[in-house]
Chains A and B, each alone.
Chain A
Amino acid sequence: MSLPPPDIILGGLVRGSIYGLVALGYTMVYGILGMINFAHGEIFMIGMFTCVFALGLLSTLLGTTTLINLLLATLVAMIFSAAFGYANERIAYRRLRKAHILAPLTSAIGLSIILQNFVFLTVSKDNISFPRVYSDQLNKVAFTLGGVHFNYLQFTILGTSLVLMAALFFFIHRTRLGIAMRGTAQDQLMASLVGIPVNKIIALTFVLGSSLAAVAGVMVSMYQSVAGWNSGYIWGLKAFTAAVLGGIGNIPGAVLGGLIIGLTEDITCYYFGSNWRNSVVFLILMIVLIIRPRGLLGERVADKV
């Protein structure tokens, strides 16, 4: 068995960077509230839909199809997803913060189903297509190596993901708000005693995670050319898996977990065919967790509290 060719590796990294971007939202919310936001995949899906519709609107309104429209549409998608993420926290989670952990979790699952059905019933029952005029501008061969083509779209996705991850890391470690966010995640009572508006910081966490998920949604719909009301389910589940693999609550862990899962998936497809990808991904997850329950970069539970 030979090593997988470079285009398979690149494909895996592209996929993995998207998982990582979505996983950050799971891990940030877990870090600050200790709950899994199962509706996060739907926030990603709302980003997909918003972008596709915004692109349609911008093309007709402006009469142009430049990449500037794509940037604007991505921005609109981020705002929409952030608004939904914020509303989710406000409506479905905030009142349950002091309740048993199963209460917000169940609320999140309910919300996920409601959002899927809402889009299914009111927006589109079928997959919608990403306008090719935009993706074709990026889907060009950048260079050829050993007979394999690499295109700009893949590098755009990988580059965007990495830049956003670096920006988030900078924000969390170097800014006043970022330190407040980490403080709130570590000790909520003390955070309120030093004057941090804890509710606003929690809301900000949802807004940030949701905006990242929106960008991921835009890139997936562009990469795969389609989006559907149920796209958030499998992408969300895999991203959640990535967060757990990396150590839930740990920011670099989410990125690492995402890349590992993305690579595993594409390499499995290459050797065994795409029917095997999900089984192998989850098999690896189970093995890692049995050996190391806290995930690759996770702290011991005792340290967390």
Chain B
Amino acid sequence: MLRLSNIHAGYGYSEVLKGINLELNAGEIVTLLGANGSGKTTTLLTIAGVVRPQAGTITWNNAPLKATSPDEVLAHGICLSPEGRHIFPRLTVLENLLIGGYRLPASRNSAKLDRIYTYFPLLAERTKQLGGTLSGGEQQMLAIGRALMSEPKLLLLDEPSLGLAPQIVARIFEIIKAINREGIPILLVEQNAREALRIANRGYVLVTGQIVLSDTAENLLASDEVRRAYLGES
């Protein structure tokens, strides 16, 4: 349903992505692995319309994605939860959630909120707390909840486990899996390659702006190259 063909993108004159080809099918979790600075975030930002591709095409449901700004991409149902969570620090938890469904009718809010609160009961207890005062784990839950408010048809998650305690990480991955089971495909960028490959169907490995490896999650978990470079094994 999503296809990147020969995408080149970067910032100013520097080219970060040097011809990315990537595909994501309905119902899948696909993970994008790579070292720091390899271009994972840039890939997601390019799909989300924040970074303009210099060349190449993005296809969404068999038609070229012609959107040129993040709100146009979001209108197609593609929602990015960015690296670093970007919780609005001086909006309350509830306001952060409501703003996630900004362009949708308010009449659907209460049903969506109920669903989010069943995933994250903690958020229901803290609706009036300011986003900036939440812990890292709580902020990540809020970030995912906020993304769900946009009724995404594709969810792009950039390092949802960054800086979180192991139990929280496990919980976040469980919920990502559960969201996917409801039929939402997910493109997951992770440093935590082992956990990511465990829940993903397929994976891509990015090295300095180019895809060097692409396979099923099982095969990637078993491959020597991945074990050495991304799973910290020798």
In the complex, what distance in Å separates the CA atom of A187 from the CA atom of B50?
A: 14
Separation in Å of the A254 CB from the closest CB of chain B?
16
In the complex, what distance in Å separates the CA atom of A176 from the CA atom of B106?
A: 9
Stretch at the interface among B20-28, B90-98, B209-217: B90-98
Interface centre among A183, A193, A303 (most CB of B within 10 A): A193
Interface residue count on the A side (C-beta < 8 Å)? 17
> Digit string of A188-202 for contact with B (CB within 8 Å is 1, else 0)?
011111111100000
Stretch at the interface among B68-76, B121-129, B195-203: B68-76
CB of B132 closer than 8 Å to a CB of A = yes
Question: Contacts A182-B91, A183-B91, A187-B88: A194 and B69 contacting too (C-beta < 8 A)?
Answer: no
From the candidates B50, B89, B100, name the one contacting A194 in the complex (CB within 8 A).
B100
CB of A179 closer than 8 Å to a CB of B = yes
Of residues 73 through 129 on chain B, the ones whose CB sits less than 8 Å from some CB of chain A are 74-75, 79-80, 82, 86, 88-91, 95, 98-100, 102-103, 106
User: Is the beta-carbon distance between A193 and B70 smaller than 8 angstroms?
Assistant: yes
User: Is the beta-carbon distance between A303 and B146 smaller than 8 angstroms?
Assistant: no
Interface residue count on the B side (C-beta < 8 Å)? 25
Separation in Å of the A195 CB from the closest CB of chain B?
4
Separation in Å of the B89 CB from the closest CB of chain A?
6
In the complex, what distance in Å separates the CA atom of A118 from the CA atom of B132?
A: 46
Separation in Å of the B63 CB from the closest CB of chain A?
20
Question: Contacts A192-B70, A194-B99, A197-B71: A182 and B90 contacting too (C-beta < 8 A)?
Answer: yes
Of residues 175 through 189 on chain A, the ones whose CB sits less than 8 Å from some CB of chain B are 176, 179-180, 182-183, 186-187, 189
Interface centre among A191, A194, A196 (most CB of B within 10 A): A194
Separation in Å of the A268 CB from the closest CB of chain B?
36
Separation in Å of the A106 CB from the closest CB of chain B?
24
Question: Closest residue to B48 on the A side, CB-wise?
Answer: A193
User: Is the beta-carbon distance between A303 and B89 smaller than 8 angstroms?
Assistant: yes
| B residues in contact with A191, CB < 8 Å | 99
In the complex, what distance in Å separates the CA atom of A193 from the CA atom of B150?
A: 10
Question: Closest residue to A200 on the B side, CB-wise?
Answer: B71
Beyond A182-B90, A189-B86, 17 additional pairs, beta carbon < 8 A: A179-B99, A182-B95, A186-B88, A186-B89, A186-B91, A187-B89, A189-B50, A190-B82, A190-B88, A192-B70, A193-B50, A193-B86, A195-B75, A196-B99, A196-B102, A197-B71, A303-B132
Report which B residues bind A (CB closer than 8 A).
48, 50, 69-71, 74-75, 79-80, 82, 86, 88-91, 95, 98-100, 102-103, 106, 132, 146, 150
